[in-house]
Amino acid sequence: MKPRGRPKKRRLVQKEPEIHRYSPRGKPGRPEEIVLGLDQFEALRLADYQALSQKEAAKSMGISQQTFSRILKKARQAMADAMVNGKIISIKEMYLPEEGSSD
């Protein structure tokens, strides 16, 4: 089965996170987990931590400003969900097919 939609463009990440998992304290039992993609982490780092404009951050990642905006919105929603609901945050590289592959 062929993937639907446009193929994803490779996104440049300047610095991988040193910590790949955050866990809340004070919540009994095993909290649920959300996965934050490496591109979402990078978008948060550039926009919120380094305070770059979306245009500058998109250029840094090698993607369009519109794509950057979508990635950032999903990252912020995931972070808010984790904080409000006490979920574990895992940062993982999401699969992007190699350029020219037919997978």
Q: Are 64 and 9 in contact (CB under 8 A)?
A: no
65 in any annotated domain: yes
Q: Is the pLDDT of residue 48 over 50?
A: yes
Quick: pLDDT tens for 56-80. 999 999 999 999 999 999 999 999 9
64 in any annotated domain: yes
* pLDDT at position 4: 76
Q: pTM score, two decimals?
A: 0.75
* pLDDT at position 43: 96
13 in any annotated domain: no
79 in any annotated domain: yes
Quick: pLDDT tens for 7-27. 776 777 777 777 788 888 776
54 in any annotated domain: yes
- Give the range of the structural domain holding residue 41, as residue numbers without chain letter: 35-92
Percent of the chain scoring above 90 in pLDDT: 54
DSSP three-state, residue 88: strand
* pLDDT at position 20: 80
Q: How many domains, the chain? A: 1
d(CA 34, CA 31): 10
